[in-house]
Amino acid sequence: MQRWTVFVLALLVATPVIAQDAVEWYTYRAGDALCDVLYFCSASGFSNGVAYDHRCEQYAGGGMLYYVNFDDKWIHQVDPETCVDIALYPTPGGSSPSDIAVVDDEQAGTDAMLASTDFGTSMWYLQDLATGALIASYPYPAGGNEGCAYDMQRNLVWIASAYDGMVYGYDVDGNLVQTITSPTGGGADGMAWKDDVLYAIDYSADIWSYDFTTMMWTYVCYTGGVNGLSDDGNYLWGDYGNPSDLQQLDRECQVEVTINGPTTAQAEESYTYTVTLHNTGTTSVTTDVWTEAYYPNGTYWSGNPALSRTNLTLAPGVTITKTVTHVVPMCAAGHFWYQINTGTLEPRDVDNFDGLNIDVLP
């Protein structure tokens, strides 16, 4: 008996979607809730953090989106409606920029600032949002500073540490005010704050929400690889590192996926799996489910069953169950390959997965 990871592919098209030139695949795991991708902009380099300026458009930078490029060490100001770069600011640390957040203390009446973290310097910074000029730099004693978010309720900048599994809340003068644990005891690649809820992305690309009243983290959904996180008042924005995209994610997760079937398989035998898709969102979703297998060298296996790519549309609140058959190829242990529609081959190490996987194309 040889254990194999079986890949079930699901093509997901959400409406409305404004697609740019890039074609992206995001991996979702069985049983996860999927965050619906509503809109995305292509970003240059390796985007490693994202922030949104909530102020009205009459303010300099108001209504703009920001992302930090890990490769060129610049912060890009982007018009989210056109995906066009408006301005470039240097990252203050210039080493390993991690995340950014817009700081707008309305009660204090101060000008908006941009907070940023740098993993390499163990510092965090405040910049003028209109000019990019450095205002202040503060030490981050815990080190490994990653995701950051601005909490308007408490006027705190929350910064997650990769080293001790804690999230630290600093005021704009650099003083430590409050500390909470991270969602899973590890770091957080990105964070966002909205309506007194703190959102964080763990190392498994899961989004969690923190309730300050109950002091509890709650699982929200799986993103497929988001680094930074921000909130524009209606939706969460996340950035995927490489290839880089700035994505608008529906905070109300659109589709929940459940797969029932064996988790072990013997070579050259057929197995039947039941895939259940449940639309939890407010818009219709069209999906297509099938399976296929490849040899470790990427060669298509002739033993694949005929692909039955029935087009399924899920109205809001609708649950659809589809049975798919997967045939396991005869190939050596190591890497299991599958092909995506761009014609490229991507390796997946069998030992890295405990069960089935879903791939989603926005």
Average pLDDT, the chain: 62
How sure is the predictor about 168, in pLDDT bands with cuts at 50, 70 and 90? Answer: very high
CA-wise closest residue to 90 among 41, 148, 131: 131
Find out whether 259 and 222 touch, Cβ atoms under 8 Å.
no
Domain boundaries, the chain: 7-17+255-361, 37-249
Question: What does DSSP say about strands 226-231 and 216-222: parallel, antiparallel, or unpaired?
Answer: unpaired
Could you check whether the bond before residue 16 is cis, i.e. omega within 30 degrees of 0?
A: yes
Length of the chain (residues): 362
At residue 315, the pLDDT reads 72
What DSSP assignment string belongs to 147-167?
Answer: EEEEETTTTEEEEEETTTSEE
Q: Which tens digit of pLDDT belongs to each residue from 51-84?
A: 777 665 545 555 677 877 767 778 888 776 677 7
Q: Per-residue pLDDT tens for 226-256?
A: 656 665 555 555 555 444 444 444 444 455 5
d(CA 43, CA 213): 37
> Does the domain formed by 37-249 have CATH 1.10.3430.10?
no
Where does 7-17+255-361 sit in CATH, by number? 2.60.40
Residue 136 pLDDT grade (very low, low, confident, very high; cuts 50, 70, 90): very high
How far apart, in whole angstroms, are the C-alpha atoms of residue 215 and residue 213? 6
User: What is the C-alpha to C-alpha distance for residues 124 and 173, in angstroms, rounded to an integer?
Assistant: 11
Tokens of 173: 């003068």
Strands ordered across the beta sheet of 236-240:
37-42, 245-249, 236-240, 226-231
In this chain, the answer to whether the domains covering 7-17+255-361 and 37-249 adopt an identical fold is no
**Residue 344 CB contacts under 8 Å (≥ 6 apart), including other chains:** none
Token pair 């988790």 is found at: 263
Give CA torsion, residues 340, 80, 278, 354, to 10 deg: 50
pTM to 2 decimal places:
0.59
